[in-house]
Structure 1
Amino acid sequence: MTGELTAQTPFERYFLDKTLRFDYYHCGDSRNQEYFFDELKEEPYWAGSKVSLLDDTGYGVQLFKIFDKASGKEIYSRSYCTLFNEWQTTPEAQTVRKAMPESVVFPYPKNEVRIEIYARNRKGVFEKKFEQDIDPNSYFVKKFTPRYETFEVAYNGNPSTRVDIVLVPEGYTQNEKEKFAAACRVFAEEFFSYSPFKENAARFNIRAVWAPSMESGVTIPGEHVWRNTAAQARYYTFDSERYQMIEDFQGLRDIAAHVPYDHIYVLSNTQKYGGGGIYNFYGISAAHHPNRTGKIYVHEFGHVLLGLGDEYIGNVSYNDMYPTDVEPWEANLTTLTDFGRKEWKKMLDTKTPVPTPVNEKTPQKLGVYEGGGYVNKGVYRPWPNCLMNNLHTIDIFCPVCSQAIRKQIDFLCR
């Protein structure tokens, strides 16, 4: 036999260049969670890295792994968070059981695989909660049917070596297409005006899907306003007025799948302040708030891209989100339980006291300042203020957030 054999990469050995989506229902209450399979869907593009197949970030409260069934080898994994996990920390979850539609995506396997889903326990350790065999060649895998027009907002190259953002419209009717397109342009302009996204602009693609709604605007239950919209977003999530979120994540993915994407960001047709962002899930915010729109975009995307924690205090209905005897997985929060393992610790001046007192004369001194993760005691943040804190009074991320963002971009663009 003559000639050279080209060695296959792990991606080429195990996967096709498209996406398999595993839809399921996440069910339970404050103390229990279960997973119930719904269906498998094929999506036409794979936008993710073909090199960074295994997740070693340590982020997220959920984790799924894909194993080649024949060899038992782990061939893909990703960490993530969900709206259900947040709901589990609310007072309602102590007395009510609930189910939410969710899904995970991975490169389309060539052969049979096994999926395993893990969740962190009270001590912050991942425990296996679910597993199921998957036959990617089954005729029960639902094929993708395109329904919507798409357009590019910012294109810089191959999706597998870029961070791909898809912009989804919420509450724009058929005759508001140009309004949405203009909002997309503003998103890109604002997003790339903040560091470290500005310096990494060439490593991003931004595309949009034009999915019009039947009615204009968004649902605001507290004001008795209900709208028939494409993504079914609503304010007053968890009875918090400005928390605008979407419960039907599967429906949102149906829209996003029209383009290659790593991350979903929803632009809602409203001036009302509010939105949210969840790691490897989606982000959403008001596209027409009269000011601060760009800061809101990058703040929420900090959650979406790598799960940066909120550094502010109060204004939420969560209970025990950050137990003080467990080290948070977020790069920018600590309880000092296991601070030594964080990159943040390595960045500190050895003379900096821990905890660090706030000094108004040095507002940008890297330290360990008490107050963060919605509470004023027991959780600490890197700077007195940052775009993950009171974004209305500052225009930059702290060094800890900035470095973590850059590392996550590197991970996705390999």
Structure 2
Amino acid sequence: MKRILPLILIICAFLTAESKAQIRYDDYFTSKSLRIDFLLAGDCSYQKVFIDKYSEEPIWAGTRTNLIPSFEYGEYQFRAYDKASGTEIFRYGFSTLFMEWRSTLEAKSVPRAYPQVVTMPYPKNTIEVEFFERNKADGKWVSMLKSTIDPASMFISKESKASYPRVKIVDGGTPENKVDMVFVAEGYTKDQMAKFEKDVRFMVDYFFQREPYKSRKGDFNVWAVMSPSESVGPDNPGKNYWSRTPMASTFYTFGTDRYLTTSDYKAVRDVVWDVPTDAIFILTNTEVYGGGGIYNYYAMASSDNRYRGEVMIHEFGHSFAGLGDEYFDSETAYEDFYNLKVEPWEPNITTLVNFGAKWKNMLPANTPIPTPVDLTQPRKLGVYEGGGYMSKGIYRPIDKCQMRVNTKDGFCPVCQQAISNAIDYFVK
């Protein structure tokens, strides 16, 4: 019996893993998307989810194989279950600008609400969905809201939105087997769309000069969506400049002049509702230096600043691969963004709480931990103190990676591996 029991446990574990891995897309989903609009509301001490609207959209361009990813990135998580069987059929991790705002001083005294969107393949049968937040105290998932959705409900909107002209810049193949990267125009007037397309082509050429994107260009489709603005550029409160644009982008996010974002993610998704979309890049028509990027949300950068290519690469690293900022010596508006007693979920920073789950196995033999900075070897792999906006207690893989400085030397091996894993999620 002692010999048989372990074998039984191994078989059961294998069958459980197999049943989880073999979720057949066609058993549960159609080729369309279910969009869920909701609000995240609260302050520094609490947050809640409020459902706004359910919609049917015409395209699901995302993965049809990795419906439950092997990694758990993001400050939030969305799960969908088949109501009849209870089987988990879809999972999606993401972060939001609201989460960052909760770490600011303002959140200690003023509550706010930010519009949000998640999308999933359109279900064939009734599902239960659940939203989770990552508990900062221990890094574990805490349920925020459960809701049941009947895909045949007459209250699921099928209303069309504005459909903008688009150009396919890179044609890698069928959307469901590729990374569909979508550039959208912000702060370009109707008469400036030729400039927008030229700016996108510059960015795309620059993007595919950088590894690992260069080696994996064939895994991408790239679109340019021509969404016109009534005026040029984003808002710039520091210069008392206010613009009318589809996505309400602005500098001075949280009081930081270069932080270029929009808090209206609903407006962002409205622009791409009928375009195959896995990753969104908002290209903003301005010479002013700035940008922003949030995991599975969007990335954004200026079109005409001389550092535009490097900013794009950096910000897309956040939004696409979940890479954390490695800098620690510049102005930020956050207060105690990371709990040093918990391992960060971002793959390229560590508190050493669970370093074995990060890049420990990539280190050369006898690498000291922490690793002293050697100015003559800024790209030597190690464990260097400083990162995540904090000078103590958080560590980065090399001294000067793309996620710390605007460098043409590019990403470190750890970040490159994380990006490759993100590409694999969509194409394998």
SS at match of 1:187: helix
Cα distance in 2 for residues equivalent to 1:317 and 1:250: 24
Which residue is equivalent to 1:66? 80
Q: Which runs of 5+ in 1 are unaligned?
A: 1-7
Which residue is equivalent to 2:49? 35
Q: Report matched runs for 1:14-93 at 5 Å.
A: 14-93=28-107
Say if 2:393 is the partner of 1:375. Answer: no
TM-score by length of 2: 0.93
Distance 1:336 1:9, change over 3 A: closer
Cα distance in 2 for residues equivalent to 1:373 and 1:138: 44
SS at match of 2:361: helix
Matched to 2:323, the amino acid is L
SS at match of 1:400: helix
How far apart are residue 399 of structure 1 and its match? 0.6
Q: Is the 8 A contact 2:43 2:111 kept in 1?
A: yes
Q: Deviations over 1:76-129 (max 9, x none)?
A: 001010000000000000111000000100000011111100111121111111
Say if 2:411 is the partner of 1:397. Answer: yes
Q: Report matched runs for 1:124-203 at 5 Å.
A: 124-145=139-160, 146-203=162-219
Q: Deviations over 1:221-259 (max 9, x none)?
A: 111100011111000111111111011101110101131
Q: Is the 8 A contact 1:156 1:202 kept in 2?
A: yes
How far apart are residue 170 of structure 1 and its match? 0.5
Q: Is the 8 A contact 2:57 2:273 kept in 1?
A: yes
SS at match of 1:238: coil
Q: Deviations over 1:343-370 (max 9, x none)?
A: x011012300000001123222110000
Which residue is equivalent to 1:363? 378
Which residue is equivalent to 2:286? 270
Q: Is the 8 A contact 1:165 1:206 kept in 2?
A: yes
SS at match of 2:421: helix
Say if 2:242 is the partner of 1:231. Answer: no
Q: Is the 8 A contact 1:209 1:258 kept in 2?
A: no
**Residue correspondences, number:** 404
Q: Is the 8 A contact 2:23 2:67 kept in 1?
A: no
Distance 1:189 1:144, change over 3 A: farther
Q: Is the 8 A contact 1:386 1:394 kept in 2?
A: no
**Two-structure CA RMSD over aligned residues (Å):** 1.2
Q: Which runs of 5+ in 2 are unaligned?
A: 1-21
Fraction of identical pairs, as percent: 44
Q: Is the 8 A contact 1:150 1:258 kept in 2?
A: no
Which residue is equivalent to 2:300? 284
Cα distance in 2 for residues equivalent to 1:45 and 1:118: 25
How far apart are residue 56 of structure 1 and its match? 2.1
Cα distance in 1 for residues equivalent to 2:98 and 2:192: 32
Matched to 2:87, the amino acid is K
How far apart are residue 136 of structure 1 and its match? 1.4
SS at match of 2:119: strand
Cα distance in 1 for residues equivalent to 2:316 and 2:365: 31
Q: Is the 8 A contact 2:289 2:307 kept in 1?
A: no
How far apart are residue 9 of structure 1 and its match? 6.4
Cα distance in 2 for residues equivalent to 1:160 and 1:394: 32
Matched to 1:204, the amino acid is F
Cα distance in 1 for residues equivalent to 2:376 and 2:332: 30
